[in-house]
Structure 1
């Protein structure tokens, strides 16, 4: 039981740390969008996007990103990526960098905005 509680506490600490990290990126993400014309990329499902999204965001679900990466435009343009929990945006950030996008910021969770 003690091991379970210790693991649960560790998991909670990791989740809290990741949420704080994503929230700390919000200012930089807003600056990229406002001052540098960054693409705001929502990688959640179309249904999630339809239910609500950040103003000006473009939706390309992470499951379709590899096939649609060519539609995102100039690879030198900054891109701010977000999703619901940070998992899909982390994956998308890696995919974009591998595709040659040089300035990609993983906002993580949409609520960090």
Structure 2
């Protein structure tokens, strides 16, 4: 008991640090985002569909190879979405911000496995994954 009283500040600091780490982990999981390695695994092993929610001009400037372009504004009710709502949908955009919002919209629409690629196309490039440009 004397140890706890003498070192209360260290104990408080350790508890706060652990709490912040736990909070960060919970926030990451709540967003439904996945890293590039997990995205590739889902595409290869679980028939995941990569959807780029960028505007057509952004998509033409560069996109992940194999991605379908469905702009964020026309995502709801888009015919290009897979009819099988159980398939993993991996949403990507240049930074990942729009993709996160798109994942939320699609989960509400019944696509239970809709998730954003964390970091977007920038992270995709940094991971050394293939990027293509639409021919002009």
Normalized against structure 2, the TM-score is what? 0.62
Q: CA deviation at 1:34?
A: 1.2
The answer for unaligned runs of 5 or more in structure 1 is: 1-16
The answer for unaligned runs of 5 or more in structure 2 is: 1-23, 125-136
Rounded Cα–Cα distance in structure 1 between residues aligned with 2:103 and 2:66: 19
Rounded Cα–Cα distance in structure 2 between residues aligned with 1:44 and 1:94: 16
Q: Which residue does the alignment assign to 1:52?
A: 62
Name the larger-Rg structure: 2
Residues 24 and 32 (structure 1 numbering): CA distance in 2 closer, same or farther, change over 3 Å?
Answer: closer
Contact 1:29 1:105 survives alignment (8 Å): no
Aligned residue runs from structure 1 range 1-113, under 5 A: 25-68=35-78, 70-73=79-82, 74-108=84-118, 109-113=120-124
Q: The residue matched to 2:95 in structure 1 has which SS?
A: coil
Q: Which structure 1 residue ranges, 4+ long, deviate > 4 Å from structure 2?
A: none
Instruction: Name the structure with the higher helix share.
Output: 1
Normalized against structure 1, the TM-score is what? 0.73
The RMSD of aligned alpha carbons is 2.0
Figure out how many residues of one structure are paired with residues of the other and give that number.
92
